[in-house]
Chain A
Amino acid sequence: QKEVEQNSGPLSVPEGAIASLNCTYSDRGSQSFFWYRQYSGKSPELIMFIYSNGDKEDGRFTAQLNKASQYVSLLIRDSQPSDSATYLCAVNSDYSSASKIIFGSGTRLSIRP
Protein backbone atom coordinates (compact mmCIF):
# COMPACT_ATOMS: atom_id res chain seq x y z
CA GLN A 1 0.00 0.00 0.00
CA LYS A 2 1.51 3.28 -1.09
CA GLU A 3 1.48 5.81 1.72
CA VAL A 4 2.06 9.48 2.27
CA GLU A 5 2.61 10.45 5.89
CA GLN A 6 2.26 13.82 7.53
CA ASN A 7 2.20 14.94 11.14
CA SER A 8 -1.38 16.05 11.75
CA GLY A 9 -0.35 18.92 13.99
CA PRO A 10 -1.39 21.46 14.95
CA LEU A 11 1.92 23.14 14.27
CA SER A 12 1.98 26.52 15.99
CA VAL A 13 4.39 29.13 14.64
CA PRO A 14 4.75 32.81 15.63
CA GLU A 15 4.00 35.41 13.00
CA GLY A 16 7.08 36.31 10.99
CA ALA A 17 8.85 33.02 11.67
CA ILE A 18 9.56 30.14 9.28
CA ALA A 19 7.03 27.32 9.23
CA SER A 20 8.42 23.94 8.24
CA LEU A 21 6.06 21.21 7.10
CA ASN A 22 7.25 17.70 6.37
CA CYS A 23 5.98 14.72 4.43
CA THR A 24 7.35 11.23 3.84
CA TYR A 25 6.27 8.77 1.18
CA SER A 26 6.68 5.04 0.71
CA ASP A 27 6.81 4.58 -3.09
CA ARG A 28 10.38 4.96 -4.38
CA GLY A 29 8.98 5.28 -7.91
CA SER A 30 7.24 8.55 -7.07
CA GLN A 31 7.88 11.22 -9.67
CA SER A 32 5.85 14.31 -8.80
CA PHE A 33 5.25 16.02 -5.51
CA PHE A 34 2.66 18.61 -4.58
CA TRP A 35 1.64 20.85 -1.73
CA TYR A 36 -1.96 21.95 -1.36
CA ARG A 37 -3.34 24.50 1.08
CA GLN A 38 -6.83 23.97 2.46
CA TYR A 39 -8.57 26.54 4.59
CA SER A 40 -11.16 25.26 7.03
CA GLY A 41 -14.38 24.37 5.21
CA LYS A 42 -12.86 25.11 1.81
CA SER A 43 -11.42 23.10 -1.05
CA PRO A 44 -7.73 22.26 -1.56
CA GLU A 45 -5.67 24.72 -3.61
CA LEU A 46 -2.40 23.78 -5.29
CA ILE A 47 0.42 26.05 -4.09
CA MET A 48 3.63 24.25 -5.05
CA PHE A 49 4.87 21.32 -7.09
CA ILE A 50 8.36 19.86 -7.44
CA TYR A 51 9.83 17.13 -9.59
CA SER A 52 13.58 17.21 -8.99
CA ASN A 53 15.77 16.84 -5.93
CA GLY A 54 16.62 20.11 -4.27
CA ASP A 55 14.77 23.30 -3.57
CA LYS A 56 12.12 25.16 -5.52
CA GLU A 57 11.17 28.65 -4.42
CA ASP A 58 8.00 30.62 -5.16
CA GLY A 59 7.63 33.81 -3.21
CA ARG A 60 7.54 33.00 0.50
CA PHE A 61 7.20 29.28 -0.21
CA THR A 62 10.04 26.80 -0.74
CA ALA A 63 9.50 23.16 -1.53
CA GLN A 64 12.36 20.77 -0.80
CA LEU A 65 12.65 17.27 -2.20
CA ASN A 66 15.00 14.47 -1.17
CA LYS A 67 14.20 11.33 -3.12
CA ALA A 68 16.92 9.25 -1.48
CA SER A 69 15.37 9.85 1.93
CA GLN A 70 11.83 9.87 0.52
CA TYR A 71 10.73 13.12 2.02
CA VAL A 72 9.39 16.39 0.78
CA SER A 73 9.01 19.53 2.83
CA LEU A 74 7.43 22.95 2.55
CA LEU A 75 8.95 26.03 4.14
CA ILE A 76 6.90 29.17 4.58
CA ARG A 77 8.99 32.25 5.33
CA ASP A 78 7.69 35.32 7.13
CA SER A 79 4.60 33.41 8.23
CA GLN A 80 1.36 35.39 8.24
CA PRO A 81 -1.92 34.69 10.04
CA SER A 82 -3.43 34.11 6.57
CA ASP A 83 -1.13 31.08 6.25
CA SER A 84 -3.12 29.32 8.97
CA ALA A 85 -4.61 26.33 7.16
CA THR A 86 -4.17 22.62 6.64
CA TYR A 87 -1.39 21.72 4.21
CA LEU A 88 -1.77 18.54 2.18
CA CYS A 89 1.17 16.74 0.69
CA ALA A 90 0.48 14.72 -2.47
CA VAL A 91 2.68 12.31 -4.38
CA ASN A 92 2.31 10.86 -7.85
CA SER A 93 3.99 7.82 -9.36
CA ASP A 94 2.80 8.56 -12.90
CA TYR A 95 3.27 12.14 -14.07
CA SER A 96 1.12 11.45 -17.15
CA SER A 97 -1.95 10.75 -15.02
CA ALA A 98 -3.53 12.24 -11.93
CA SER A 99 -5.37 9.04 -11.08
CA LYS A 100 -2.36 7.69 -9.17
CA ILE A 101 -1.93 10.73 -6.92
CA ILE A 102 -1.86 9.81 -3.24
CA PHE A 103 -2.67 12.50 -0.68
CA GLY A 104 -1.49 12.74 2.88
CA SER A 105 -4.00 13.54 5.58
CA GLY A 106 -2.55 17.01 6.11
CA THR A 107 -0.77 19.10 8.72
CA ARG A 108 -2.74 21.83 10.44
CA LEU A 109 -0.69 25.02 10.70
CA SER A 110 -1.58 27.83 13.07
CA ILE A 111 0.23 31.17 12.90
CA ARG A 112 -0.05 33.03 16.18
CA PRO A 113 0.15 36.86 16.11
Chain B
Amino acid sequence: DAGITQSPRHKVTETGTPVTLRCHQTENHRYMYWYRQDPGHGLRLIHYSYGVKDTDKGEVSDGYSVSRSKTEDFLLTLESATSSQTSVYFCAISERDNQETQYFGPGTRLLVL
Protein backbone atom coordinates (compact mmCIF):
# COMPACT_ATOMS: atom_id res chain seq x y z
CA ASP B 1 0.00 0.00 0.00
CA ALA B 2 2.73 2.46 -1.03
CA GLY B 3 4.06 2.89 2.50
CA ILE B 4 0.84 4.27 3.97
CA THR B 5 -0.67 3.12 7.22
CA GLN B 6 -3.83 4.22 8.95
CA SER B 7 -4.75 3.81 12.57
CA PRO B 8 -6.96 2.61 13.99
CA ARG B 9 -8.27 0.31 11.27
CA HIS B 10 -11.61 -0.09 13.00
CA LYS B 11 -13.27 2.04 15.62
CA VAL B 12 -16.64 2.12 17.34
CA THR B 13 -17.49 5.24 19.27
CA GLU B 14 -20.47 7.05 20.69
CA THR B 15 -22.14 10.22 19.50
CA GLY B 16 -20.54 13.31 20.95
CA THR B 17 -17.11 11.86 21.63
CA PRO B 18 -13.97 13.15 19.94
CA VAL B 19 -12.19 10.85 17.51
CA THR B 20 -8.77 11.16 15.89
CA LEU B 21 -7.65 9.12 12.93
CA ARG B 22 -4.01 8.94 11.94
CA CYS B 23 -2.40 8.58 8.55
CA HIS B 24 1.30 7.82 8.41
CA GLN B 25 3.44 7.65 5.26
CA THR B 26 7.01 6.61 4.66
CA GLU B 27 7.19 7.95 1.07
CA ASN B 28 8.04 11.57 1.93
CA HIS B 29 5.22 12.73 -0.37
CA ARG B 30 4.25 16.35 0.01
CA TYR B 31 0.50 16.01 -0.48
CA MET B 32 -1.85 14.12 1.83
CA TYR B 33 -5.62 13.80 1.68
CA TRP B 34 -8.49 12.53 3.77
CA TYR B 35 -11.52 11.07 1.99
CA ARG B 36 -14.65 9.42 3.19
CA GLN B 37 -16.44 6.71 1.25
CA ASP B 38 -20.12 6.03 1.65
CA PRO B 39 -22.46 3.82 -0.39
CA GLY B 40 -23.86 5.73 -3.33
CA HIS B 41 -21.52 8.69 -2.87
CA GLY B 42 -18.13 7.50 -3.94
CA LEU B 43 -15.05 9.07 -2.42
CA ARG B 44 -15.44 12.61 -1.15
CA LEU B 45 -12.57 14.85 -0.12
CA ILE B 46 -12.67 16.08 3.48
CA HIS B 47 -9.39 17.98 3.87
CA TYR B 48 -6.00 17.92 2.26
CA SER B 49 -2.50 19.11 3.06
CA TYR B 50 0.13 20.53 0.71
CA GLY B 51 2.89 20.66 3.28
CA VAL B 52 3.68 20.76 6.97
CA LYS B 53 1.13 23.02 8.67
CA ASP B 54 -0.48 23.77 5.27
CA THR B 55 -3.99 22.43 4.95
CA ASP B 56 -7.19 23.27 3.12
CA LYS B 57 -10.82 22.22 3.08
CA GLY B 58 -12.39 19.77 0.71
CA GLU B 59 -15.96 19.15 -0.36
CA VAL B 60 -17.26 17.78 2.96
CA SER B 61 -15.16 19.44 5.66
CA ASP B 62 -17.90 20.41 8.14
CA GLY B 63 -17.41 18.65 11.47
CA TYR B 64 -13.79 17.71 10.72
CA SER B 65 -10.44 19.29 11.45
CA VAL B 66 -6.95 18.23 10.45
CA SER B 67 -3.37 18.80 11.48
CA ARG B 68 -0.01 18.09 9.94
CA SER B 69 2.96 18.79 12.16
CA LYS B 70 5.32 16.40 10.35
CA THR B 71 5.65 15.42 6.70
CA GLU B 72 4.80 11.80 7.49
CA ASP B 73 1.69 12.29 9.63
CA PHE B 74 -1.74 13.70 8.80
CA LEU B 75 -4.38 13.60 11.52
CA LEU B 76 -8.13 13.82 11.03
CA THR B 77 -10.21 14.81 14.06
CA LEU B 78 -13.93 14.57 14.55
CA GLU B 79 -14.45 17.04 17.38
CA SER B 80 -17.83 15.62 18.38
CA ALA B 81 -18.73 12.54 16.39
CA THR B 82 -22.21 12.19 14.91
CA SER B 83 -23.91 9.16 13.37
CA SER B 84 -23.67 10.83 9.95
CA GLN B 85 -19.90 10.50 10.22
CA THR B 86 -20.12 6.71 10.22
CA SER B 87 -18.08 5.87 7.15
CA VAL B 88 -14.91 4.39 5.77
CA TYR B 89 -12.10 6.92 5.85
CA PHE B 90 -9.21 6.73 3.40
CA CYS B 91 -5.99 8.63 3.50
CA ALA B 92 -4.15 9.25 0.23
CA ILE B 93 -0.80 10.71 -0.73
CA SER B 94 0.67 12.16 -3.89
CA GLU B 95 3.91 13.73 -5.03
CA ARG B 96 4.41 17.44 -5.71
CA ASP B 97 5.24 16.85 -9.38
CA ASN B 98 2.45 14.34 -10.01
CA GLN B 99 -0.37 15.30 -7.72
CA GLU B 100 -3.07 13.51 -9.67
CA THR B 101 -1.55 10.09 -9.05
CA GLN B 102 -2.85 9.29 -5.63
CA TYR B 103 -1.97 6.27 -3.50
CA PHE B 104 -4.50 5.22 -0.92
CA GLY B 105 -4.03 3.81 2.53
CA PRO B 106 -5.90 0.72 3.76
CA GLY B 107 -8.77 2.70 5.30
CA THR B 108 -10.40 3.09 8.69
CA ARG B 109 -13.92 1.85 9.37
CA LEU B 110 -15.63 4.16 11.83
CA LEU B 111 -18.98 3.43 13.42
CA VAL B 112 -20.62 6.16 15.48
CA LEU B 113 -23.44 4.87 17.65
Contacts and interface: CB of A to CB of B under 8 A. Distances in A.
User: Do A and B make up one complex?
Assistant: yes
Interface of A: 4, 8, 32, 34, 42-46, 49, 88, 90, 92, 95-99, 101, 103-106
B43 A98 contact: no
Contacts of B107: 42-43
A99 B42 contact: no
B100 A44 contact: no
Given A4-B42, A99-B48, A43 B90 contact: yes
The residue among B42, B45, B94, B107 with the most chain A CB atoms within 10 A of its own CB is B42
Contacts of A42: 106-107
B101 interface: yes
A98 B104 contact: no
Contacts of B45: 99, 101
Contacts of B41: 105
Given A44-B90, A88-B43, A104-B42, 19 more contacts: A8-B40, A42-B106, A43-B90, A43-B104, A43-B105, A43-B106, A44-B104, A46-B103, A49-B101, A95-B100, A96-B99, A98-B33, A98-B102, A99-B58, A101-B100, A101-B102, A103-B42, A105-B42, A106-B42
Contact of A98 (B42, B44, B100): B100
B100 A92 contact: yes
Given A92-B100, A98-B94, A101-B100, A44 B106 contact: no
Nearest to B43: A103
B14 interface: no
B74 interface: no
